[in-house]
Amino acid sequence: MPVLEITDLTKHYGDLLAVDHVSFAIEEGETYGLLGPNGAGKTTTISMVVGVLGRDDGLVLIDGLRHDVTTVKTKALIGYVPQELALYPDLTARENLRFFGRLYGLTGRPAKMRIAEALEIVDLHERADEAVAKYSGGMTRRLNIAIGLLNRPRLLVLDEPTAGVDPHSRNSILESVQRLAAEGVATLYTTHYMEEAERLCDRVGIVDAGRMLAEGTRRELVSLVDEHDRVVLRAEEGAARAVPVLKALPGVLEAGGEGGDLELIVEEARSLLPAILGALGEAGVAVRSVEVREPDLESVFLHVTGKALRD
């Protein structure tokens, strides 16, 4: 049974159809990316998923239970990290965590343990008793996430958690999400950073203008685009003599070369790479560098929406 199952989720703002019959599901331990430009309806979708916003139509199930703005039981299963820094800057990190923990029924010793655990995950335990107002942007982002982890959620909902974060903090946040997923937490992750979606998400839904335009694993999405992986090799002069050998490899669609440069069009570059390098070795060609070029989600996004992600 999926941890989150959404069917025909719909929301209007006056005449504007902000979310148009969106459906998807997330399994335990799965990270699902909602990819789309600003105004695509990601945050509205998330607001309905976490029960902040009422829906006009559709169904949301959390662990098989009906969920809406008033269902307290299902809300207790969700950890929510809004895009904005939803914290009290005049309180310390520990005070923030203690307050939000109380809202989830955490008091006494269990609360202390969970707070320590959440602080450890986001690496803020050493500065937990400082006012949040004194934190850097990255630290505040990490605390924002820690609050979402306090209740050990079945479903973690992260709305653009790395917006405006330095590379070090971003990496730390992404590692935390990967660790949680490995522990079985189902994660709904919205971003407009393509590389984050590619690194984190098992499946991605591409949304624009409130509609789910495409959904699937990265490979499934890439297959929508009429493009294949490319392997570019730099080798010694005369490497072009190995082109016939390479063409004969299963999965290689096309191969060509000139001087020391070789370029192959293949079905799955990463899985074919050992065979390619092995064939070149047998042909006596010494390889100096290898570059794999895969069609990315940016190309998919362009393909299904007709515009670049950051337009």
> In this chain, which stretch among 97-105, 241-249, 263-271, 303-311 interacts with another protein, using CB under 8 A?
97-105
Tell me how far, at minimum, the Cβ of 280 lies from another protein, in Å.
55
d(CA 232, CA 117): 46
Residue list 15-74, contact with another protein (CB under 8 A): 47, 50-53, 69-70, 72-73
The one-letter amino acid code at 88 reads Y
Torsion 262-268-273-278 (CA) sign: negative
Q: Mask: binding to another protein, 116-155, rule CB under 8 A, as x and -?
A: -------------------------------x--------
Q: Which of 95, 117, 130, 198 binds another protein (CB under 8 A)?
A: 95
84's tokens: 């904005």
**Residue 13 found at the interface with another protein (CB under 8 A):** no
Tell me how far, at minimum, the Cβ of 65 lies from another protein, in Å.
13
Q: Which of 90, 236, 291, 311 binds another protein (CB under 8 A)?
A: 90
d(CA 32, CA 25): 9
d(CA 156, CA 79): 5
**Residue 75 found at the interface with another protein (CB under 8 A):** yes
Torsion 121-122-127-132 (CA) sign: negative
Binders of another protein: how many residues, by CB under 8 A? 31
> In this chain, which stretch among 95-103, 176-184, 196-204, 280-288 interacts with another protein, using CB under 8 A?
95-103
Q: Which of 8, 57, 102, 217 binds another protein (CB under 8 A)?
A: 102
d(CA 65, CA 68): 10
**What long-range pairs does 210-215 form, CB within 8 A, spacing at least 24?**
210/11, 210/17, 210/18, 210/19, 210/20, 210/22, 210/40, 210/41, 210/44, 211/20, 211/21, 211/22, 211/41, 212/22, 212/23, 212/24, 213/304, 213/305, 214/300, 214/304, 215/24
> In this chain, which stretch among 5-13, 81-89, 121-129, 167-175 interacts with another protein, using CB under 8 A?
81-89
Tell me how far, at minimum, the Cβ of 281 lies from another protein, in Å.
56
Tell me how far, at minimum, the Cβ of 103 lies from another protein, in Å.
4
Q: Which of 2, 33, 41, 82 binds another protein (CB under 8 A)?
A: 82
Tell me how far, at minimum, the Cβ of 112 lies from another protein, in Å.
14
**Residue 87 found at the interface with another protein (CB under 8 A):** yes
Dihedrals φ, ψ of 94, to 5°? -65, -40
- Burial status of residue 216 (CB atoms within 10 A of its CB: 0-12, 13-18, 19 or more): middle
- Burial status of residue 83 (CB atoms within 10 A of its CB: 0-12, 13-18, 19 or more): middle
Choose between 26 and 222: whose C-beta lies nearer to another protein: 26
Tell me how far, at minimum, the Cβ of 218 lies from another protein, in Å.
29
Tell me how far, at minimum, the Cβ of 87 lies from another protein, in Å.
7
Contact indicator for 8, 59 with CB cutoff of 8 Å: yes
Residue ranges that bind another protein, judged by CB under 8 A: 47, 50-53, 69-70, 72-73, 75-76, 78, 80, 82-88, 90-91, 95, 99-100, 102-105, 107, 147
